[in-house]
Amino acid sequence: MLPAVINERVRLSVGAVGAQRVIGVVAGLVFVAGGTAFAVLPALASRWMTGFGGQAGGGECTVEGGTVDDLPPGLLEELGCSRSSSPFDWFEPVQLIGLLGLPFVVLGLGLVLRVLRSAVWLEGTHADVRGAVRTRRVDLSTAEITAGAVEQGSGHNRVRIPVLVARDPATGRRVTISLRGNAGGYLPPDELRALADAITRNRPGDGGRHGDAHAMARQLRERAERPLAI
């Protein structure tokens, strides 16, 4: 008989902690600061050059009994005025360069949110996976379960992290749960067993389309009995 699943909300040991979290947040803030500076400096430089060289775009003029558009071009130049052909004429071309900094701001904010928010909980047979912005929930006992891996690091420091991929066949919602603990190596044995129990709880017997799920659960239990570093 399968063991009862306690509907207690348990957080798995995944995600950055301690120094990893600090490094991730600092790196994200560096991207945010750099992107913000890149976005703002061209605008400040444009304003400074305008103030240094005079009114590059012309000043505001008031004409009694008419409008600026009624004045001849020569007189406009003497008055230091100009016609505005578009409400966006104030936007100098050099300021377009600043838009290149926005992706770095978004990247930095995403990194900070991911480091601070990423978490996985088990509640009965349900897994809640929280990312940088949203949280997804999948019932592991009815989901399609497959094994996978993601690569982290680069060069000689590159490692393959085993993951569990669960897909809700009804909605197509998919979650990915890392099997690497935040202390290195695999998740603690009790958490691996909890995942295996959630996968097989009330699931039809091994075979057919449920074969992959039962195979994954067996691997999790075997790993819990013989924990090894990744």
Answer for the pair 128, 198: CB distance below 8 angstroms, yes or no. Answer: no
Extract the tokens encoding 19.
């120094």
Give the model confidence (pLDDT) of 171-222 as tens digits. 999 999 999 887 778 899 999 999 999 999 989 877 778 889 999 999 999 9
Please state whether 173 falls in left (phi above 0), alpha (psi between -120 and 50) or beta. Answer: beta
Calculate the alpha carbon distances from 24 to 106, 108, 149, 192 in Å: 15, 10, 22, 26
Residue 35's pLDDT is: 84
SS3 of 188, please?
coil
Selection from 2, 35, 23, 199 nearest residue 101 by Cα: 35
Distance CA 226, CA 208 (A): 28
Considering only 2-6, 48-52, 68-72, which range has the smallest mean pLDDT?
Answer: 2-6
Calculate the alpha carbon distances from 124 to 2, 84, 176, 186 in Å: 13, 65, 17, 21
Q: What percent of the chain has pLDDT over 90?
A: 30
Selection from 180, 215, 131 nearest residue 12 by Cα: 180
Alpha-carbon dihedral 22, 177, 222, 217, rounded to 10 degrees: 160
Residue 14's pLDDT is: 84
Answer for the pair 1, 202: CB distance below 8 angstroms, yes or no. Answer: no
Please indicate, yes or no, whether the overall pTM of this predicted structure exceeds 0.95: no
Extract the tokens encoding 210.
């449920």
Selection from 211, 215, 220, 213 nearest residue 141 by Cα: 213
Distance CA 153, CA 166 (A): 24
Selection from 59, 49, 28 nearest residue 95 by Cα: 49
pLDDT at 54 over 50: no
* CA 114 centroid distance within chain: 5
Distance CA 175, CA 156 (A): 29
Extract the tokens encoding 25.
């947040």
Answer for the pair 68, 76: CB distance below 8 angstroms, yes or no. Answer: yes
